[in-house]
Amino acid sequence: MKAIYNYIKEILQGIWTLLTGMRVTAKYFFTPWKHVTQQYPENRDTLKIADRFRGEVIMPHNENNEHKCTGCGICEINCPNGSIEIITKTLVNEEGKKKRAIDQHIYHLGMCTFCNLCIKACPTGAIVMGQRFEHAVWDRTLLTKVLNQPGSKIMEGVKE
């Protein structure tokens, strides 16, 4: 008799634990308007990305097509996986003085691990992290980018 009593009790207790769990799911099932997920990609316009989010390395230019990069190559040394290549050129000014300047700041997005070490190391703040995160392309050669815009030059007053 005792065995049967315990048997039935166990079954009822088991059903009760299942109902306890189902009460939680039912709460969410009947109040879906409180718990809506993000409607990505439809909400692209209203999407808020954190300011510090590390999406890609970019080089900001001002309205005169000027940047702050001196071509010192510190970012290239600090990059752990060789995503940055600096190609420099030598400029000669009116007085005949030679000066190193950036020719191409090549950035391999496909190799980048977004560790932020290049930005931290940059002495002039020429490169920053952009918030764009949709990097899918059809051809991987498109992932190799030149960060300084064509025809751009260094800002006045930026020194190494």
Partner 1 sequence: MDELKEVMITNDEIRTDEYLINMGPQHPSTHGVLRLLVQLEGEIVHNVQPHIGYIHSGIEKMAESLSYPQLGHLTDRMDYLSAIQNTEAVALCVENALQVEVPERVKYIRTIMAELSRLASHQLWWCVMGMDMGALTTFFYGLRDREDILDIFEETCGARLTLNYNIPGGVMFDIHPNFQRDVKAFIQKFKTKLPEYERLLSGNVIFTERTKGVAYLTKEDAIAWGVTGPTARASGFACDLRKHRPYSAYDKVQFKEILSDVGDTYTRYQVRMAEMWESISIIEQLIDNIPEGDHAVKMKGVVKLPEGEFYQRVETARGEFGVFIVSDGKKNPYRVKFRSPGFSNLFAINHIAKGWKIADLVAIMSTFDLVIPDIDR
Q: How far apart are the first and last CA of the chain?
A: 91
CB of 61 to partner 1, least distance (A): 22
Type of residue found at 134: E
Burial of 102 (0-12, 13-18, 19+ CB in 10 A): buried
CB of 136 to partner 1, least distance (A): 18
Type of residue found at 149: Q
User: Is the CB of 11 or the CB of 137 nearer to partner 1?
Assistant: 11
User: Is the CB of 62 or the CB of 110 nearer to partner 1?
Assistant: 110
Q: What are phi and psi of 30, to 5 degrees?
A: -90, -5
Contact predicate 98/108, CB 8 Å: no
User: Is the CB of 21 or the CB of 96 nearer to partner 1?
Assistant: 21
CB of 49 to partner 1, least distance (A): 8
User: Is the CB of 121 or the CB of 146 nearer to partner 1?
Assistant: 121
CB of 152 to partner 1, least distance (A): 26
Binding site for partner 1 (CB under 8 A): 13-15, 17-18, 20-21, 23-25, 35, 50, 52-54, 78, 80, 113-117, 120-121, 129
Biggest CA pair distance of the chain? 110
Element (H, E) at 150: none
User: Is the CB of 109 or the CB of 115 nearer to partner 1?
Assistant: 115
CB of 158 to partner 1, least distance (A): 19
Question: Is 2 in a helix, a strand, or coil?
Answer: helix
